[in-house]
Amino acid sequence: MSTAALITMILILGVVWGGFVLALRLALRKEKSKSHKALADKELK
């Protein structure tokens, strides 16, 4: 593979796939903290 193709591939896959993985990780973390909070609120009641 040529250098130009390799660089383009790394950039495009990095932005799209990397961005998706990051967004997914963030969503999972937020979801986890929301469920912990909901559980704590339930216990308080």
Partner 1 sequence: MNSTEHFTSRWGLILSVIGIAVGTGNIWRFPRIAAANGGGSFLIPWVLFLFLWSIPLIIAEFAIGKQTRLGTVGAFATLLGKKRAWMGGFVGLVATAIMFYYAVVAGWCLRYFSTALTGQLLEVTDHTAHWNDFISSGWLPVLFHVLAITMGAAIIRKGVVHGIEKANRIIIPALLCLIVVSAVRAITLPGALAGLEYLFTPDLETIMDYRVWLQALTQNAWDTGAGWGLILTYAVYMKKREDIPLNAMLIGLGNNSVSLLAAITIFCTVFALVPGQGEELIRSAGPANTGLTFIWIPQLFKQMPGGWLFAIFFFLALTLAAVSSLISMLELTTRVLMDMRMSRDRALSLVFAAALLLGIPSAISIEFFINQDWVWGMGLMVSGAFIAMAVISFGADRLRQDQINSSGSDLVIGRWYNWLITYAIPAQVIILVTWWFWQVIKGNPQHWWNPLQAESVGTCIFQWSVAIALLLALNRFVVRRTFDK
Q: Give residue for tokens 């009641």.
A: 45
The structure tokens listed for 6 are 């390799």
Identify residue 19 by its one-letter amino acid code: G
Identify residue 38 by its one-letter amino acid code: A
The structure tokens listed for 37 are 């909070």
- Of 20 and 40, which CB lies nearer to partner 1 in the complex structure? 20
Residues that bind partner 1 (CB under 8 A): 1-2, 4-6, 8-9, 12-13, 15-17, 19-20, 23-24, 26-27, 30-31
User: C-beta of 6: minimal distance to partner 1 in Å?
Assistant: 8
User: C-beta of 31: minimal distance to partner 1 in Å?
Assistant: 6
